[in-house]
Amino acid sequence: MVPRDILGICRLPACAVAISTFVSLAATSLPAFGETCARACPPEDRMLVPCGLVWDLGLDVRAEYLLWWTDPLAVPPLVTTSPQETPRNQAGVLGLPTTDILYGGSGLNGDAHSGGRFAVNGWFDSCRSLGFELGYTFLEQDSAAYAQSSTGDPILARPFQNADTGLRDAGLTAYPNVAEGALRIDASTRFHTAEALLTKALLEESERRLMLLLGYRYAQLEDELTMADATTSATDGSSLDLFDQFSSRNTFHGPQLGMLAERQSGVWTIQFMTKLALGSIRSQVGIDGWTTATAIDNSQSTTPGGFFALTNIGRYEQDTFGGLTELGLKLRCDLGCHWRASLGYSFLSWYYIARAGDQIDPTLSVADFPPSQGNDSLYRPFQLSTTGFWAQGLDFGIEYRF
């Protein structure tokens, strides 16, 4: 869904600005009737090393393989353990010298992973002074998983801040002679972006070129974090199965302005690019959870609410104004027969977005834990939390010019 008008930025005025800008650029860039561009841009300056018949259709197609790192998904400590002799009321409690964090407390999904970028460039005039670019960039889904089961050795605990007592506490999944159980945590992140640009030559010489980039940017970032906890009592055989799900989706729409500068020496070209997009961000957060209790007679009941997903269960939306910046440095080599290879580095930063891990509040009221929720909850109302996101890495490209 396209966001509504945010701080006076809406789609119709943006389209009007883009159309008027295009008309003015075209009027100042296209040659007058009867005029040619031979003096300003001779054919040999517009082609890669020729091979047989030369076609100059003013169209470039580019594909790139990306090896990028992304901003890790921040989560609080999710699983802890303690030595076997630890008293039950201290097992897994954060802040004690005997407690170790098994999972969480740092970022997830921050390793290098693959992606792709595809672009088509075209020119409206034979001088290649006014053109367009359509581009799409994506990263493959980045995933992380944790699974652990125990009959009591090792101790498995889920730490939290007890809102009722004001002290640190922990729920036990596995503890000697008390409970045995298993935990599984999965996290995934997906990112992609697209853009449509007008390109205008501000400076063009035989070895140097400076281009103005003006257009539209779209981006989307999605996170999902799920936690499953199965605990069986060692005394009577009853069990509890808890499930939590936190998800977020951020969508950006906005105008974009940028500059591209390049310097050529023989078959080598070095290029620097910078872009800034400002516009509306719609952040959507979903929180869900439930608990299934199985009694000793195998009767079952399911209650809304897991471990972290309690009174905060629901769907939340927020529209805000933010920005997205991109920097790029690229070295290109003309291979001949209209082919060109490239190696580059890119950095992208996005501001004021909601990520799934930041929506977890480790302060919990025991009165809210199912299946026996009470009315004395001290749980704080949910507040959507925003942060930033970055992605960076290497680009390996191949280009063909028609």
Q: How far apart are CA 211 and CA 198, in angstroms?
A: 10
Separation of alpha carbons 131 and 225, rounded Å: 43
Between CA 194 and CA 217 the distance in angstroms is 6
- Per-residue b or e along 193-224, where b marks 16 or more CB atoms closer than 10 Å to that residue's CB: bebebbbbbeeeeeeebebbbbbbbbbebbbb
User: Integer distance in angstroms from the first to the last C-alpha of the chain?
Assistant: 37
Is the preceding omega at residue 371 within 30 degrees of 0, hence cis? Answer: yes
Beta-sheet pairing, 300-304 with 339-353 = unpaired
Distance CA 22, CA 18 (A): 6
Separation between Cα atoms, residue 166 and residue 169, nearest integer Å: 9
Please, which residues bridge with residue 314 across strands? 287
Closest Cα to residue 79, out of 148, 158, 187?
A: 158
Return left, alpha or beta for 194; rule: phi > 0 is left, psi -120 to 50 is alpha, else beta. beta
Torsion angle (degrees, nearest 10) of CA 83, 85, 89, 95 = -40
Indicate yes or no: pTM above 0.85.
Answer: no
Q: In this predicted structure, what is the pLDDT of residue 174?
A: 96
Q: What is the pLDDT of residue 367?
A: 81
In whole angstroms, what is the distance from residue 167 CA to residue 190 CA? 36
| pLDDT value, residue 249 | 97
Residue at token pair 């950006």: 252
Structure tokens at 217: 């940017």
**Contacts with 324 (C-beta within 8 Å, 6 or more apart), sequence order:** 193, 217, 219, 252, 254, 276, 277, 348, 349, 350, 351
What is the pLDDT at residue 373? 58
Residue where the block lists tokens 């407390």: 105
Query: Which CATH class name applies to 52-401?
Result: mainly beta
**Cβ neighbours of residue 40 closer than 8 Å, sequence gap 6 or more:** 127, 129, 204
Please write down the long-range contacts of 90-99, taking CB distance under 8 Å and 24 or more positions apart: 91/155, 91/157, 91/170, 91/172, 91/175, 92/155, 92/156, 92/157, 92/158, 92/159, 92/170, 92/172, 93/157, 93/159, 93/168, 93/169, 93/170, 94/159, 94/168, 94/170, 95/168, 99/159
Neighbours of 330 (CB within 10 A): 19
Residues 223, 187 contacting (CB under 8 angstroms): yes
User: Which residues does the chain have with pLDDT short of 50?
Assistant: 1-19, 21-23, 25-49, 53
Q: What is the pLDDT of residue 25?
A: 46
Q: Where are the domains of the chain?
A: 52-401
Residue 151 CA to residue 172 CA, distance in Å, equals 12
